Amino acid sequence: MSAKYFFGFILSFIVGIILEEVFGLGDSFAVLCVVVATVILLRQRVRSGVAYSLFVSLLLLGCALGVLRVDVSHMKQNTHVLDRAAGKTIQAKGIVVNEPDVRESYTNIVLEIQSVSQGQKQNVLEGMPRVLARVPTYPTFRYGDEVAVTGRVSVPKNFPSKDGQRSFDYRAYLAKDGISYEMHFPKIEVVGYDKGNIVLEKLFALKAVLMKNISRMIREPEAALGAGILLGAKESLGSDLLQKFRETGVAHIVVLSGYNIAVVAGVISRLVVFMPFAMRLIASGFGIVFFALMVGGGATVVRATVMALIVILARALGREGDALRVLVLAGGLMVFANPMILLHDVSFQLSFMATLAIVVFVPLIEKYFLWVSSRVLREIIITTIATQVFVFPLILYYMGSVSLIGFVANIFILPVVPIAMLAVALVIAFAWVPFVGSALALVASAVLAYMILAVEFFARVPFASLSGISFPLWMLMLVYSLLGYVVIKKISRVPAENKKSDYEF
């Protein structure tokens, strides 16, 4: 497919989703777009204008698809099922359908409510709405537990603007994951086990064993950091230390991110290097999917996994050069699967912009850093600058704050992330071996301690971060328009033979 048609269709699909989310134009607008597109094609009789008419029709059809996809997504949400019970105390039975999110003083679990009791009568719910329940840290819950819960159910409330941060549409943020209600510290007890997907249950059980090995061999807070960067564990580092990670611009390493997935992908590809090419691709794909499922399959992990799988497919087809198409296709597929992430998932927006920076901006600026002799250091510097430039406007818009020390902090911390991941993995693998496991644990603890000390040091730098910054929507759009103009202008000057990307899985 021509690049013009490919990018035009996906962009018009995105525009359709935005129009429907913001203005609620409805199915009638989508039908109108389809009718107009059909009329344009049927009435076109000038041969020289066929290509132009086809392009316009494709844009209209893409927009219609976006509108219809949002409407279908909203139809699947069962937000009405418990509306009558909102603000009241209910007795219900449900299943834990996500991995519990363990915090310092509480745990968040997502329940899929199957039935609600009223007196002696039990009503089975067809829609099975999802409820975000905040419960004490102990007793612990697992994915697949069947629970009986008694408590007050409520509709989530949005957060107003505060301390320079924008108001947060918390209700839409939860709705993107199918969550329509909340319960705060209800009475809850486990009445059954193993009610979830058996594959996920086994993978989460394996993850729990690995987590125990980390906690047993490595002291805190290094253990929490190690579990976060390797397994995507949600255990907290503590509010103070976590805030320092944010202030220094390296919070993305605290939990599993696309960078960590890239490291895992690289390791897997090297472990199966002895296999034939086709088998390497298949083994790498299955390995990445297995790892993504084991660490919980969160939004960030899914994004990175989809990207890796699409790049693997591109390599198999011999088209690994078009990294931008890979990125746009991955983003389009994820938005099609869940349209609400486009406007209501900040993590998706930041991840996409960071990847876009690596694909289109890194090749444009790398020639200015050839004076850096170390290839590894040069790649870290270029990648950090590119991603910071592209995500900086979004951070200002949503958070009203920015880290001024993040660039330097990333240079000192990112190079040791692969070493830390490898060290923690070796600790897990050899925890049962006397002396060897302890020796590896000392190495892993030292690397993780260095990362924490570096964060604490940079957080003490005066004016490490600024907050309370006003950055309106029109300014966000202006900045990204200018960035787009600069990138397109620069790319158009690059000879065609130099446009092939070195992007690889």
Domain-by-domain residue ranges, the chain? 3-76, 83-196, 204-498
More confident residue, 346 or 232: 346
**Distance of alpha carbon 38 from alpha carbon 291, whole angstroms:** 46
Q: What is the pLDDT of residue 190?
A: 93
Q: pLDDT exceeding 70 applies to what percent of the chain? A: 82
More confident residue, 285 or 79: 285
Angle of the 436-459 helix axis to the 239-247 helix axis, nearest 10: 60
**Distance of alpha carbon 344 from alpha carbon 173, whole angstroms:** 5
pLDDT at 466 over 80: no
pLDDT at 498 over 60: no
User: What is the H or E stretch that residue 22 is in?
Assistant: helix 3-23
In order of 261, 387, 448, the CA distances from 407 in angstroms are 21, 10, 20
**How many residues comprise the chain?**
505
Q: What is the pLDDT of residue 44?
A: 66
pLDDT at 437 over 60: yes
Q: What is the pLDDT of residue 293?
A: 72
Arithmetic mean of pLDDT over the chain: 81
Give tens-digit pLDDT for 411-428. 888 888 878 888 998 898
Give tens-digit pLDDT for 374-394. 776 777 788 778 888 888 888
Highest mean pLDDT among 51-55, 151-155, 430-434: 151-155
Closest CA to 18 of 327, 361, 401, 473: 473
Q: pLDDT exceeding 90 applies to what percent of the chain? A: 21
Give tens-digit pLDDT for 12-44. 999 999 999 888 888 889 999 999 988 887 776
- How would you classify the pairing of strands 107-118 and 179-184? unpaired
pLDDT at 399 over 90: no
Q: What is the pLDDT of residue 443?
A: 94
Give tens-digit pLDDT for 127-158. 788 999 999 988 889 999 999 999 999 988 88
**Distance of alpha carbon 156 from alpha carbon 251, whole angstroms:** 26
- Prediction pTM value: 0.79
Tokens of 398: 């949503």
Q: What is the pLDDT of residue 13?
A: 94
Q: What is the pLDDT of residue 414?
A: 80
Give tens-digit pLDDT for 245-254. 888 888 777 7
Q: What is the pLDDT of residue 313?
A: 63
Cross-strand bridge partners of residue 301:
none
Q: What is the pLDDT of residue 79?
A: 54
pLDDT at 442 over 50: yes
Q: What is the pLDDT of residue 263?
A: 61
Closest CA to 467 of 373, 400, 394, 383: 400
Q: Tell me the pLDDT band of 500, cut-offs 50, 70 and 90.
A: very low
Q: What is the pLDDT of residue 439?
A: 93
Q: What is the pLDDT of residue 75?
A: 66
Q: What is the pLDDT of residue 298?
A: 61
pLDDT at 410 over 80: yes
**Distance of alpha carbon 470 from alpha carbon 481, whole angstroms:** 19
**Distance of alpha carbon 505 from alpha carbon 500, whole angstroms:** 15
Q: Tell me the pLDDT band of 496, cut-offs 50, 70 and 90.
A: very low
Q: What is the pLDDT of residue 505?
A: 36
What CATH number should be reported for the domain whose range is 83-196? 2.40.50.140
Three-class secondary structure of residue 183 per DSSP: strand
Tokens of 22: 């913001």
Q: What is the pLDDT of residue 402?
A: 78
Give tens-digit pLDDT for 348-377. 888 788 778 877 888 888 888 888 887 767
Give tens-digit pLDDT for 154-182. 988 887 766 655 677 888 888 888 888 99
Tell me the mean pLDDT in the region 231-243: 74
Tell me the mean pLDDT in the region 94-109: 88
Highest mean pLDDT among 75-79, 142-146, 239-243, 407-411: 142-146
Q: What is the pLDDT of residue 455?
A: 92
More confident residue, 358 or 92: 92
- Alpha carbon dihedral 328, 329, 335, 337, in 10-degree steps, equals -170
Give tens-digit pLDDT for 252-298. 777 666 666 666 666 666 667 677 777 777 777 787 777 777 666 66
Q: What is the pLDDT of residue 503?
A: 36
pLDDT at 447 over 90: yes
